[in-house]
Structure 1
Amino acid sequence: MAPSRKFRSMKEIMRVAKRVAEPDSSDDDDDHLVCQQCGEGNRAEELLLCDKCERGYHMLCLRPILTRLPIGPWCCPACSGDVNRPIKSFKGFARKKLAEFFKIEHNVFFSRKCTPSLQDVKRRRRRGTLVFQKKRRRLFPYVPSEDPARRLAQMRSLALALTSDNMEFSNDLNYRPGMAPREANQSRFEIGGMQVLSKEDTETLKYCRAMSKRGEFPPLKVTFDLYEGYTVEVDGPIKDMTIIAEYAGDVDYIKNREKDDCDSMMTLLLTNDSSKNLIVCADKLGNISRFVSGINNHTVEGRRKQNTKCVRYSVDDACVVLLIATRDIAKGERLYYDYNGYEHEYPTHNFV
């Protein structure tokens, strides 16, 4: 079987054209092509050819690994130089530029005073006598880092990661012309109904949204790993059941994205009519959720590493996806979540 490829350069097109015109040509490089990393020539359908040196590499032998064919020209690590190397330094964004990138007021974010705690807000709102009810698990708001310099470093890491992927920051679901309209996202269309976020948890979500508008983000930073690529690392302790992020991006119909190569799509709405199913696409707009790593949930080790879950809720009659901590997470841990959710629609065998 010939190596898997797309015509990524004029050089390769001319080479293939020559083979067609001269079928008896002695050019039999593909028969002896081996991966430069593992030295084996098996799994030929996974071999990528470098557009410069024409050497082969298995997609899963690369660091970071590739799970799909790249679009356009591709160079191997030895030939790429800085072309395929993600930004590793987080010192390129000044404070004012960061404030503009995240669309927050410069003077508001860089003051040391943070938003009042949710408990203080509720204490001021409380009226009348207390009613004791059966205790159930509720969602907690994230606690941003108090040190402005630390928050600055966290925001800088996210800004540079988004920039390297040619993305803009957004903490919202976006409805753009040519994609699914806002009225398509109604939780009542969900098959069997959707879990409704309680009144108290809705207040917690709104509190988190208010903090993010002030530039008070969860204590997370984006780092680069040679094996996993961009990952999200916890920069401060996070309690179980804490809202970590709200999945953001463009809302579109699944039918419009069947041939899309974006690797950051999230199920938003499943209806009885498959043509009305919605997804969130974090390819042009997105937030920190874009870089949280999907876990291989087919292994015991993978399930053990999972510390975050994605849950779809009905909020104000519309569907949203929240990333929630499934246990206490310590500083320095990386976030891993089950990309399948409960639908089991996506293959995760090649995930970390």
Structure 2
Amino acid sequence: MSVTTKKRTRTQFKEGLILTSLMLESKRATFKRPSIIREAEREESPEYVPPSKASRKTPVIQLKKTSAQSTKSPKQIKGKEEEKKNRQSVLSDFFFKKSCKSAECKLSGEQYHKDVIICDICNDMYHWQCTGTLTEMLDCGTDYMCSYCEKQYREFKKFRANTIITDQDDDKCPFCKKGLNGSGSKKQQPKKCLKCVKQFHSGCFSSDQMFCKQCLKIYNQTADELFPQPILRQSAHHSPISPKLQTQGSLSSFFNQAKKTSALSVFTTPMASKKLDGQIFSQGMKVKAKKRSASVSNKRKKPSFKLPALIDDPLLDDDVKDSFKRSFYVKGMRYVTSLVYDHNDCPESMNDPALEAKVQILIKENNDAIYQLREREKAGILPPVLIRYEESQGFFVEAAIDLPDLCLICEYLGEVRTARQSLFNANDSIMELLDTGDSDTSLSIIPEKHSNIGRYFNSINNKNVDSRKKQNVRSIRCQLDGKVTVLLYTKRAVKKGEQLLYNYNEAKECYPTDDFV
């Protein structure tokens, strides 16, 4: 190639660059984006007002999601699909297990699960054709009450009306038969007896702050009948009337009894007995050599329940027993250490955890802690708590000593009834034990004549933020030895003198707590 041809190509290249740059400028001038054209036309209009600096919005840059954020792993997708299937199966099982409660039901096949209505009180299923009162299917959202619940509701209203009339008493002191308002300038503030719920003059009332003279006399005679014999035998060793009468012999007997009961509560449990069998030989009582310690990762265990420490102060122990006796005497209940099945229509065999999928299964360490707690109660050791009373909130539970986190306080005990039997029960401390979706097989705990400390725990106010922060106790429904039980334990460390509170509506919104302190 010659030199002249090289020069020509360079000049042609320069001319091409100039032409392309001119063409691009002309395109930019003629072909504008629609948004720019709209803004230009808006600015040229006479009614245009320029925006202020405050009203100008900064452009928001939206970044595209990366592949790791947008796409999910196949394990996560399978897990979500399995959760949906499990929810659908639980719901389908819940509804398909329900059957029409009418004895005259003749529907079958595909029509059996159509035209179904559910009672708002007992949650039982009926066909509108089988009710005998409805002529057509109810609209969605319409309230319905079955004939059985209507009958029970009428009887409950009559009972409430009669109790309101009988509770109305004259404004006179039952002891001196004089007016409670007083006469002249001297006016006495009346005092109310917690047992008979009658008002007395302060001068006619007993020296006791809870009972009148007549109820106090009955309390001294019958209070011991409310507790089992092991508790009474233990309290007989150290039951001083006043601190001055406390002798050295009674103190030594107290600590000897405490040692016996603590040893009993530890060495009679399955967990402790297995440890002893594995550590000691039968001949010569030689201790086995310790096994090689596991790594730190293997030593980490799941959090398990702890038992509260034993009360080492005899005076405090007497205060605990006295508070228990007084509170149980007011309610007219007997102290029990297990659930009570005293109704023919609700035997112990109905307490079957296989009927509900929500009942939790505890680990071995937690089961052993429950066994130890039951052994303590059988030995007569009460939980280290005090039952107090205030007019603003009634009875409440207070920690007598410091309680650690996950401290197992008690089981919730009482009489076991079916949900249908407890629909209109006036008791304010009913606890759900088993929920099968059927009022004839669902079970509830009603602490009416038999109970333990669980009946006196108060709840937080669900509408108050400060009250929700005070919650320090939780409840759990679990299965043990083929039966369902309810446990109360601390959710955090609790100091001595702090009130023990848990949430009545933690599982279901069924209890109104708006007026709670």
Distance in structure 2 (CA, Å) of the matches to 1:351 and 1:274: 29
1:8–1:74 CA contact under 8 A, matched in 2 = no
1:342 aligned residue: 507
Percentage identity across aligned positions? 25
1:27 aligned residue: none
2:473–2:502 CA contact under 8 A, matched in 1 = yes
1:23 aligned residue: none
2:161 aligned residue: 6
Paired residue secondary structure (2:404): coil
Distance in structure 2 (CA, Å) of the matches to 1:271 and 1:234: 35
Indicate which of 415, 422, 425 corresponds to 1:260. 425
When residues 78 and 256 of structure 1 are mapped into structure 2, their CA distance, relative to the original with a 3 A threshold, is farther
The within-5 A match list for 1:149-228 is: 149-190=315-356, 192-228=357-393
1:280 and 2:445 are equivalent in the alignment: yes
Larger Rg: 2
2:306–2:369 CA contact under 8 A, matched in 1 = yes
1:140 and 2:140 are equivalent in the alignment: no
Structure 1 window deviating more from structure 2 (113-122 vs 227-236): it is: 113-122
CA offset digits 1:171-223 (Å, max 9, x no partner): 21110124521011111111x34111221111111101111111222211111
Once the two structures are TM-superposed, the CA of residue 147 in structure 1 deviates from its matched residue by 2.5
Indicate which of 262, 266, 270 corresponds to 1:115. 262
Which amino acid is the alignment partner of residue 162 of structure 1?
F
1:311–1:322 CA contact under 8 A, matched in 2 = yes
Structure 1 window deviating more from structure 2 (274-283 vs 240-249): it is: 274-283
1:104 aligned residue: 230
Indicate which of 457, 469, 476 corresponds to 1:292. 457
What TM-score do you get using the length of structure 1 for normalisation? 0.71
1:112–1:147 CA contact under 8 A, matched in 2 = no
**Two-structure CA RMSD over aligned residues (Å):** 3.5
Once the two structures are TM-superposed, the CA of residue 314 in structure 1 deviates from its matched residue by 0.8
Distance in structure 2 (CA, Å) of the matches to 1:218 and 1:107: 17
1:174–1:250 CA contact under 8 A, matched in 2 = yes
Which runs of 5 or more structure 1 residues have no equivalent in the other structure? 14-48, 55-72
When residues 326 and 78 of structure 1 are mapped into structure 2, their CA distance, relative to the original with a 3 A threshold, is farther
Larger proportion of helix: 2
Which runs of 5 or more structure 2 residues have no equivalent in the other structure? 1-159, 173-195, 238-256, 280-289
Distance in structure 1 (CA, Å) of the matches to 2:489 and 2:457: 12
Which amino acid is the alignment partner of residue 342 of structure 2?
R
Which amino acid is the alignment partner of residue 101 of structure 1?
F
1:246–1:289 CA contact under 8 A, matched in 2 = yes
Once the two structures are TM-superposed, the CA of residue 86 in structure 1 deviates from its matched residue by 4.5
Distance in structure 2 (CA, Å) of the matches to 1:258 and 1:155: 34
Which amino acid is the alignment partner of residue 365 of structure 2?
E
Larger proportion of strand: 1
What TM-score do you get using the length of structure 2 for normalisation? 0.50
1:248–1:289 CA contact under 8 A, matched in 2 = yes
Once the two structures are TM-superposed, the CA of residue 278 in structure 1 deviates from its matched residue by 0.7
1:88–1:224 CA contact under 8 A, matched in 2 = no
1:52 and 2:170 are equivalent in the alignment: yes
Larger relative contact order (Cα-Cα within 8 Å, sequence gap ≥ 6): 1
Indicate which of 295, 316, 340 corresponds to 2:481. 316
